[in-house]
Structure 1
Amino acid sequence: MPRTIVDAEVIKQAVAVASRAPSLHNSQPWTWVADGPELQLFADRSRILRAADTAGREALISCGAMLDHLRIAMAAAGWQSFVERFPNPNDLSHLASVDFQRAGYVSDATRARATAILRRRTDRLPFSPPNDWDILRPVLHELVDSDAVHLHVIDDALRGELVEASRLTEALRRQDPDYQSELDWWTAPFELDEGIPRSALNSVPEADRVGINRAFPIDGPGERRAATGPDQARILVLSTPEDSREDALLAGEALSTVLLECTAVGLATCTVTHLTETEAGRTVIAELLGSTRSPQALVRVGRAPALEQAPAPTPRRQVTDVLKFRR
């Protein structure tokens, strides 16, 4: 394949769009380096949350979502991406190298997903059931299911057990001062280009109606979406054959696909990882699924009120902070 140097402005714009990818506590643990015709993705070890993410799994999932967002942003700009994962065995922080080639056309599906990147929000409030679920579910399976990543849908009959596991996990973590200190920092009520703003958190009554969600130390801004009642979201689980670094990165890419496809058809989503951050939580989820695979992330999918004002986007770091040009 001929290696093509893409104009720097195209790279900057694509990275700016892809930076809307979700990450644990909006930590954005990634760095891009443009080196000639190659764009390289690195994990930023300084931004890994040591208490919540002791193994660095969540950072890898976040970087996988960023990688897939970048591929979609470049595709919408007319460039096809060729990804080599973990290209340097001597540098474990080097997660991927990407080369580009001019694409013949940009499909409507690609444009829709690229637009969805800018529309997607993490919505922690209660959802109504997703409309046209019988149509969307097989589409998601077709897009995601492979030897590397599998999409499971939690049976409604198991929802109570999952809620109980979520609450037990949160109760245990309330006794972990390091974990609580991290939560305090990433939800600090001052303006930054990272972390979770108060407007994106649940109040106590809202959290009680969701059940499967992380508990944050700062209360959200009041009672919203009261007419929705208890959460009726579908709960999806992304799992991998093992729990390797490659598994986590690929799970993040699949997570990006699920979030953007759901957003493109007008549904709200919320990634849930507090259960998969602990070995005990992953074991519980695997047992609920009757599977030997390793659960990597959960996603709530449902409908938000159509006329509701969209929440403000959470802050992101400047492109100059996450993208460097080597040549």
Structure 2
Amino acid sequence: MKPSYSVSARLRFCQRRMDNRLIAYTFGPKPSAFVTPFFQSSTLKQRILMLQKSETNRWAVVKYGFVALLTFSLFIFVAACEDQAKQEVVNNKEITVSGQILANDGKPLPGANIVVNNVERGTTTDVKGRYKITVPANGTLLISFAGHKSQEIAVGGKTVVNARLVEGSDETAGRFSGQTTAPNRTAEKLTAEQDKEHIFTVVEKHPEFPGGMIGLTRFIHENLRYPEAAQKAHVSGKVFLSFVINTDGSFQDIQVLKGFGFGADEEAIRVLKAMPRWKPAMQNGKLVRVKYNLPIKFELEDN
């Protein structure tokens, strides 16, 4: 009986021990809660790489920042250069500019000179004071007329440029350092070679009446005779003359651009022919023939 009891007691002990283990496994803490899950290969590889990676140096951060700033600055510089290049192309583009040149009283100025600054290119206005010329989009027009103050007008990309000139002397117009030619010798016939010489409309140094604009005004005032027909009709106005000044200061191809009749046109031509030789124009250090426009004013004196 003793052996049978011993075996039965041992079996009950083992049963209770097994029950305790099952209860502890069911309701107790899991063993995996205290263990890092290294069994996942991706997580394990990532952690090993992080453990082997050295700490980032502050100097490296500064270098990275400097490189980024330099790259950004170069990008801005290149973009600015491209914009400037595009703007220069636009500014240097040739455009056609037209307009009308008027006197201070609102009347057209035929024969006014339109010159592109720093470019040997120019034109003159027609009988209605209108003109047309091709210029750079960022160019500047120099507008002048005898007996009037010159004007410089920036084109600024505009295709229409009008101007109104005020009467008066222009300090920069018509200056010339040559010698005065012999007077009272005008409208001489040129030789065949002289007649083939190019006639300029734009020159570096303009022709000049002996004594300048003051001398020209004085000469016209002293020699102009008011036509009788104009006096009887009580009319006044301006006669616009166009002529070529030769290299010897004589005149050629005198034309009336605009007149008002009553004998005034003929009187203006007579006074022009009576003038002494002008100081001729110069271009590139040489005497040249040039087309010139001159207004002669007829005005009745108040009694």
Identify which of structures 1 and 2 has the higher relative contact order when contacts are C-alpha pairs closer than 8 Å and 6+ apart: 1
Larger helix proportion of the pair? 1
Larger strand proportion of the pair? 2
Taking structure 2 as the reference length, the TM-score comes to 0.24
